[in-house]
């Protein structure tokens, strides 16, 4: 992670994901309402076949990126040792503009809380491959 604001805080502190299910490689921007991440599509990714990664994976990239800003908000308000349970994610809307994401490519995912009601968030997300928009999603997150 490169954002100075995260000094001493790791992805393990923010997200409940471990091992191959951590799809974020770098946090480029983060505050209490949005995050921008980058991910290099690797052979360990789920939904990979001979053509690349299926675009449905962008939902997980968006959810993890949303988890970065909301997880950091949890740490700030409740402390680093607070309950790290993940969020239940519903897909309200998803549009994919690519058939496959090529292996080895870098995607940039931006997630921004558009509505915040206690333990419920509605998050607007976009995914870019370089400068090309390849996905747009609206997610609904709920934390028990």
pLDDT at 3: 47
Both structure tokens of 110: 């931006």
The 3-class secondary structure across 3-67, one letter per residue, is CHHHCCCCHHHHCCCCHHHCCCCEEEEECCCEEEEEEECCCCCCCEECCEECCCHHHHHHHHHHH
pLDDT at 6: 62
Listed range (77-81, 101-105, 114-118) with the worst mean pLDDT: 77-81
- 84, exposed or middle or buried, with CB in 10 Å at 0-12, 13-18, 19+? middle
pLDDT tens-digit readout, 115-128: 988 889 999 999 99
pLDDT tens-digit readout, 85-95: 677 899 999 99
Both structure tokens of 15: 């997200």
Domain that holds residue 24: 4-142
Number of domains in the chain: 1
pLDDT tens-digit readout, 35-79: 999 999 999 998 999 999 999 999 999 999 998 887 777 767 666
Entry pTM: 0.87
Determine the Cα–Cα distance for residues 45 and 7; give it in Å rounded to an integer: 27
Q: What is the CATH number of the domain that holds 97?
A: 3.10.129.10
């Amino acid at each position: 992670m490169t954002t100075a604001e995260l000094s001493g805080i790791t992805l393990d502190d923010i997200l409940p994901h471990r091992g191959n299910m951590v799809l974020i490689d770098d946090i480029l921007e983060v505050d209490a309402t949005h995050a921008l991440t980058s991910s290099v599509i690797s052979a360990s990714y789920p939904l990979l076949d001979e053509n690349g990664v299926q675009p449905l994976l962008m939902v997980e990239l968006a959810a993890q990126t949303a988890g970065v800003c909301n997880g950091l908000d949890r740490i700030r308000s409740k402390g680093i040792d607070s309950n790290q349970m993940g969020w239940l994610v519903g897909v309200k809307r998803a549009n994919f503009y690519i058939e496959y994401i090529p292996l080895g490519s870098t995607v940039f995912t931006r997630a921004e809380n558009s509505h915040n009601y206690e333990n419920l968030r509605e998050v607007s997300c976009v995914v870019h491959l370089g400068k090309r928009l390849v996905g747009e999603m609206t997610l609904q997150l709920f934390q028990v």
